[in-house]
Chains A and B, each alone.
Chain A
C-alpha cells in the first residue's frame, strides 16, 4: 500500500497563487506506545516531505511523531510555468514514496 492523493490544479494562469495538497498512507508510529505486554513499539514515521516544481524545491517539511497518521500537507506556490510537480516522502526503515502531477499554464 503506497497510495498518495495529490491535489494540484490542472491549469492555472501565469502568476496565480495555487494551493497544493498532498495526502499519503502512513501509520506514523510514534515510538512511544507500548503493547499490552509492555514492549515499546519501535518508531516508524515519515521524517521528510518535499515538493519540487520543475526540479526546484518549493516546499519541504521535517516531520516528528506528533504529525498525525496518513500525513496531510497543504501549501502554496506561484504558478509560473507549465510542467511537473514532484513529491517525495522519506522515512524510517528505508521508507520512500514518490508521486507527481502536471500543470499547464494558460
Chain B
C-alpha cells in the first residue's frame, strides 16, 4: 500500500478511470500468431531490420549545407540513442509543445545540418527513426517525466475518448473496452504503441505510429489528421503514457 502511494507520486502519469490495469496490459505481439511472432523475434528474418540497416547508413552520411552527419554530433547511436525513443514524444522548449521523434529528426536536420526536412513516411525518415528506435529495444517506455507535458497528455486523452466519424467510435471503445474481442476475424488489440516504426504485413513496409492512427481514424469513417498534426502527436503522447513501463519492440512486426 505504502509502496503504491510512492509509485503514484513518483510518476506524473495521471491514471484515468477505466484505463487498462498495468497487470492486464498486453503488447500487440501477444495477440499475434506464432509465425508472425517468429518473424519479429529473429533479427535476420524481420523485414523491419532492412530499415534499421538503411538508417544506420544514413546516420553516418553527411547531410545538408552544414555537411554534418548525425554521427558527427551524436557519435555511436548504440550509446547516445539508447533509451531516447522510449522518451518520445518529448517536450520541446523552443516550440513550447511536444514533438514526435520524426519531428525531432527534422528539427535536427534544420538546426544542425541545414538540410531539408524529410517527408513523413518517406523511406529515409522511417529508416532513421527505426534505427534510433531500435537502440531502445527491450527498454521500458519512459515518456512523460517532463511536467510541462501534462496539458498535452490531457489533450491526447480527450482525443482518445472523443467519438468521431460516421461510425461514431472513440479509440477507447475498441482499445480499452473491447480489446479481448475480434473484429472481422482479427483480434482487437489494446493499441499499445510499443513497436513503432513497425513492419506491417498489410502495408508490406515499415510505417509510423501516425500512419497506424490515421488508418484507425479512417476505419471509423472520420477524416484523419495530417501527418505531424498536433492532435496526432498528443494522441501518441497519451498512448505512450498509457504504455509506460512496457518494453520497446521497434522495429516490431504486426499483421
Contact = CB atoms under 8 A, between A and B. Distances in A.
The answer to whether A and B touch in the complex, with CB atoms under 8 Å apart, is yes
Centre residue among A1, A4, A21, A28 by max chain B CB count within 10 A: A1
A102 to B, nearest CB: 16
B45 A21 contact: yes
Given A23-B50, A69-B47, A69-B205, 9 more contacts: A1-B123, A6-B44, A21-B44, A23-B45, A24-B50, A68-B204, A70-B50, A70-B204, A74-B45
Contacts of B51: 3
B128 interface: no
Contacts of A6: 44
Interface in A19-44: 21, 23-25, 27-28
Interface in B26-78: 44-45, 47, 49-51, 53-54, 57
B50 A5 contact: yes
B45 to A, nearest CB: 6
Q: Which 3 A-B pairs have the closest CB atoms?
A: A7-B44, A69-B204, A70-B47
A72 interface: yes
B184 to A, nearest CB: 22
A72 B48 CA distance: 12
Interface in B107-132: 123, 127
Nearest to B47: A70
A5 B53 contact: yes
A28 B205 CA distance: 11
Interface residues of A, number: 17
Interface of B: 44-45, 47, 49-51, 53-54, 57, 123, 127, 204-205
Contacts of A69: 47, 204-205
Contacts of B44: 5-7, 21, 23
A22 to B, nearest CB: 9
Nearest to A74: B45
A3 B45 contact: no
B204 A3 contact: no
B47 A23 contact: yes
A25 B52 CA distance: 12
Contacts of B204: 27-28, 68-70
A25 B45 contact: no
Nearest to B49: A5
B54 A1 contact: yes
Contacts of A7: 44
Contacts of B45: 21, 23, 72, 74
Contacts of A23: 44-45, 47, 49-50
Given A3-B54, A5-B53, A72 B123 contact: no
A12 B45 CA distance: 21
Nearest to A24: B50
Contacts of A70: 47, 50, 204-205
B240 to A, nearest CB: 28
Contacts of B205: 69-70
14 contacts: A1-B54, A3-B53, A4-B50, A5-B44, A5-B53, A7-B44, A23-B49, A24-B50, A25-B54, A28-B204, A68-B204, A70-B47, A70-B50, A72-B47
